[in-house]
């Protein structure tokens, strides 16, 4: 390969290295975290906590109901046993019984509401679990794909680095320093000539320069952008 072919080849290698390295970083970042799955897990955990709290509250209400039922039963037994004959005491027991029954009725409403809350919480937790399972499955699939891609990228990057080292080894130091300087300054160091103009900046390439560039044995710079012209 002549000088310009080597520089062109080096640039193709460097551009692919840049591109593949960037993709490798993206793949690593995606492998490291998955916001969709994290959100699905958080939502499911929160729904489960809410459900647990609703169930605990329902149990509390049920215990309250049992306690009241026991009190009512005891009062009724005493009241209708005939053992208590004092009218004042009977009246007091009757009032207590009425109060407990009212409390018990009110509690029934609360129990129904709470059962409803538990049921809704259960449905919500189940829905969130399905979303989470889907996200887990999608992630597992994605992880397998990404891991394959990461391995392929690593292999290709190793090849490119070897090619780069080899190509740079065959280029003269002056050509390399011009190339490196342009790469740092404007990204692409070598511009193809297209229709007698620089393919990157569009400035016309004088015939003499184009001819020398096509020979490919010396560095010919574009009068517009200063890049190395490749014929
Ligand atoms: Zn140019």
Q: What is the pLDDT of residue 226?
A: 96
121 CA from centroid of ligand 1 (Å): 67
**What is the number of alpha carbons within 13 Å of residue 215 lying toward its C-beta?**
9
pLDDT for 148-171, tens place per residue? 999 999 999 999 999 999 999 999
Position 72 scores a pLDDT of 97
Residues with Cβ–ion distance below 5 A, ligand 1: 198, 201, 222, 224-225
Give the per-residue pLDDT at 141.
96
Question: What is the distance in angstroms between the CA of the first residue and the CA of the last residue of the chain?
Answer: 14
CA 210 / ligand 1 centre spacing (Å): 12
CA of 190 to the centre of ligand 1 (A): 9
193 alpha carbon to ligand 1 midpoint, in Å?
A: 9
From ligand 1's centre to the CA of 192, what distance in Å?
A: 9
Can you give the length of the chain in residues? 231
32 CA from centroid of ligand 1 (Å): 42
Helix (H, G, I), strand (E, B) or coil at 206: coil
Q: How far is the CA of 189 from the centre of ligand 1 (A)?
A: 10
221 CA → ligand 1 middle, Å: 8
Find, among 231, 223, 228, 229, the residue nearest to 177 by Cα. 228
Q: Provide the pLDDT for residue 231.
A: 81
- pLDDT tens digits, residue range 3-47? 999 999 999 999 999 999 999 999 999 999 999 999 999 999 999
Domains by residue range for the chain, with CATH: 34-171 (1.10.287.1700), 174-230 (no CATH)
Give me the residues of the chain with pLDDT under 70, please. Answer: none
Q: How far is the CA of 12 from the centre of ligand 1 (A)?
A: 18
């Amino acid at each position: 390969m002549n000088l310009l072919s080597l520089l062109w080849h080096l640039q193709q290698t460097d551009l692919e290295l840049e591109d593949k390295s960037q993709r490798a970083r993206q793949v690593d970042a995606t492998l490291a975290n998955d916001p969709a799955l994290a959100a699905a897990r958080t939502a499911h955990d929160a729904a489960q906590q809410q459900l647990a709290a609703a169930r605990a509250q329902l149990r509390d209400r049920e215990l309250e109901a049992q306690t009241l039922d026991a009190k009512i039963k005891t009062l009724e037994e005493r009241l209708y046993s005939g053992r208590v004959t004092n009218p004042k005491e009977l009246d007091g027991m009757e009032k207590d019984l009425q109060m407990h029954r009212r409390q018990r009725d009110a509690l029934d409403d609360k129990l129904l509401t709470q059962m409803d809350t538990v049921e809704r919480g259960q449905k919500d937790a189940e829905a969130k679990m399905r979303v989470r399972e889907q996200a887990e499955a999608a992630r597992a699939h994605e992880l397998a794909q990404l891991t394959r891609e990461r391995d392929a990228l690593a292999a290709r990057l190793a090849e490119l680095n070897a090619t780069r080292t080899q190509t740079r080894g065959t280029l003269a130091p002056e050509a390399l320093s011009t190339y490196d300087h342009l790469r740092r300054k404007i990204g692409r160091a070598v511009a193809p000539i297209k229709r007698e103009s620089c393919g990157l900046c569009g400035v016309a390439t004088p015939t003499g320069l184009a001819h020398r560039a096509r020979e490919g044995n010396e560095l010919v710079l574009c009068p517009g952008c200063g890049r190395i012209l490749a014929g």
